[in-house]
Amino acid sequence: MAADALQQLGQQAAALLGQLSAVERRKLATDLARTMRATQADRIRANKQPDGTTMTPRKPQPKLRGRKGATRRKMFTKLVKPAWLKATATANEATVAFTGSANRLATIHHFGLRDKIRGKTVQYPERQLIGITDDDIDRIEDALLKHLTASL
């Protein structure tokens, strides 16, 4: 559903964006990238997937020296820091992506891949980290309209 709405938004905005200069398009893309980075980070911190469901929790760990529940805290708390989750923009695109070594970790979790930890192969459940929700599409539409009306 979000993909259809995003495609429709792209078709509607294409003609309007064609009238803007490259500098104006880059400003708009920068604003959109910052907004999307903030919403993605908030959602990841809350351990919610783009479809609104909660992420699969961690497996229960053996009791570690009496600290029961030590691994029951939120996942991905450091992954959403600005050092790892970057928002970049050009005149033609706005991108929110993980960088560096966090990209590998995020890819494994996002797609539910296998990884080796201390010699053992572990299958991770799929936990979608990055995605566009219907609220994100509404935010994009609002930002687009606000920018276009301000530039006129």
Residue 18 has pLDDT above 90, yes or no: no
Residue 63 lies in a domain: no
Fill in the amino acid letter for 23.
Answer: V
pLDDT in tens, 108-133: 999 999 999 999 999 999 999 999 99
Short-list 49, 94, 117, 148, CA closest to 86: 94
Residue 5 lies in a domain: no
pLDDT in tens, 74-91: 889 999 999 999 999 999
- pTM over 0.85? The answer is no
Residue 66 lies in a domain: no
Residue 111 lies in a domain: yes
Residue 71 has pLDDT above 70, yes or no: no
Short-list 99, 81, 100, CA closest to 40: 81
Domain count, the chain: 1
Of all residues in the chain, the percent with pLDDT exceeding 90 is: 61
Residue 122 lies in a domain: yes
Specify the pLDDT at position 89: 97
Mean pLDDT along residues 24-29: 92
Q: Which two tokens stand for residue 103?
A: 């990209």
In angstroms, the CA 86 to CA 96 distance is 6
Short-list 21, 40, 64, CA closest to 133: 40
Domain that holds residue 85: 17-58+71-151
Residue 70 has pLDDT above 70, yes or no: no
Q: Which region, left, alpha or beta, applies to residue 118 given φ > 0 means left and ψ of -120 to 50 means alpha?
A: left
Residue 124 lies in a domain: yes
**Mean pLDDT of the residues in the chain:** 88
